[in-house]
Amino acid sequence: MAKVSSLTIPPAWRPLIEAIFRWYSINGLPIFARQWLQGSRYMKYLKQQSSKFSSASEAWNALSSVTQAGWNSAAVIATTYARGYRLYTSDFIWRQKAGLPAPEGALADYQLFGIKMSNLGGSQDVHIRRDDKDLVGQITFKFSYKKNEITPNVSFPFRVILTAYYFGQGTILTDTDSFSAPGGDIAWNTITRTFGTAGRKYFHLRVILTIDQYDAIIYLDNLILSDSIGEQHRENFNTEDYKAWVPNTLYRKRDWLFNPSFVDPYFIHEYLT
């Protein structure tokens, strides 16, 4: 007769146990008990065969030395992600589970998750606003994007508008800069904008990424804001254990504001391809 046992898990332990289960799931490893529940060696073999880790490891070994070197130099800034083999196998397994193609070569700033911004039909005002404060010029804003254009709109393209506020001549003045994407579909591209006066103190910066009245889909990743002091904010939309990214709401000239709101179909936290 099979042995049956029960275990009462203290509530305080459950977050830790769930985190362990998520880690095994991300890495494609089977979860099983060593005693009683496992049965025979053959059952253990079947469990191990259900793991996707071995196929990820084989795929890594099949890569050329040049490609492996690219993965070893790739960087994803998040607490649970690493470089090289660890990054490749994690990405490989997640893509297999999601039915996506296997990863290829890695970039210096490797992309896992990003924001998909959509304005299907082009009838809405859809934009992201990022606010920061207490910067010293010059200011640099860098981001990566991909664009799928559905209906061309020369008057309202995908735009990035930067406005930096400072005090001068007894009033509030601004330094501004902007970027307008060319028409048509655009593969992943990285844009860097630097503006403002060196050494000038800015008490507020507003960045707007907009597809107002533009029938298009924009994918965003690796938003980096820096000034003369150094990097002030980096957002690559990655989270621990692949959880959903939740934006911090704009408060006292800092963080995010999404229009109409951070909901599908306008904004989706999505695994990038």
Whichever domain contains 254, its CATH number is 2.60.120
Maximal C-alpha separation, the chain? 88
> Quick one: pLDDT at residue 117?
94
Other CB atoms within a 10 A radius of the CB of residue 26 amount to 16
Specify the pLDDT at position 251. 74
Last residue of a domain, one of 34, 67, 98: 98
Assess whether 44 and 157 both reside in one domain.
no
Same domain as 123, residue 250: yes
The alpha carbons of the chain give a radius of gyration, in whole angstroms, of 23
d(CA 152, CA 123): 13
d(CA 125, CA 29) in angstroms, rounded, equals 44
The secondary structure of residue 75, as a DSSP letter, is B
What backbone torsions phi and psi does residue 55 show, to the nearest 5 degrees?
-65, -35
CB 219 within 8 A of CB 112: no
| pLDDT < 50 positions in the chain | 1, 35-38, 49, 77-80
Please report the pLDDT score of residue 109 as a whole number: 56
- Residues 222 and 250 reside in one and the same domain: yes
Q: Residue 138 falls within a domain, yes or no?
A: yes
Residue 2 lies in a domain: no
pLDDT for position 139: 96
Residues 83 and 122 in one domain: no
Rounded Cα–Cα distance for residues 221 and 235 (Å):
7
pLDDT digits (tens, 9 = 90+) for 31-74: 555 544 445 555 555 555 455 555 778 888 888 888 888 777 76
Distance from C-alpha of 23 to C-alpha of 9, rounded to nearest angstrom: 19
Count of domains forming the chain: 2
Token look-up 């898990």 returns: 9
| Contact assessment for residue 168 and residue 245, using Cβ atoms and an 8 Å cutoff | no
Assigned domain for 6 exists: no
Residue 208 lies inside a defined structural domain of this protein:
yes
| Amino acid at the residue 105 | G
* Residue 237 resides in a domain: yes
Residue 23 shares a structural domain with residue 71: yes
Partnered with residue 218 across adjacent β-strands are 117, 147
Is residue 198 domain-resident? yes
Q: What count of residues does the chain have?
A: 273
End position of a domain, from candidates 66, 98, 130:
98
The answer to whether position 29 is within a domain reads yes
Q: Is 162 found in the same domain as 91?
A: no
**Residue 143 shares a structural domain with residue 226:** yes
Residues spanned by the domain of 119:
113-271
Q: How far apart are CA 175 and CA 213, in angstroms?
A: 26
> Do the beta carbons of residue 228 and residue 236 sit within 8 Å?
no
What's the confidence (pLDDT) of residue 127?
A: 95
In a domain, 221, yes or no: yes
Residue 82's pLDDT is 58
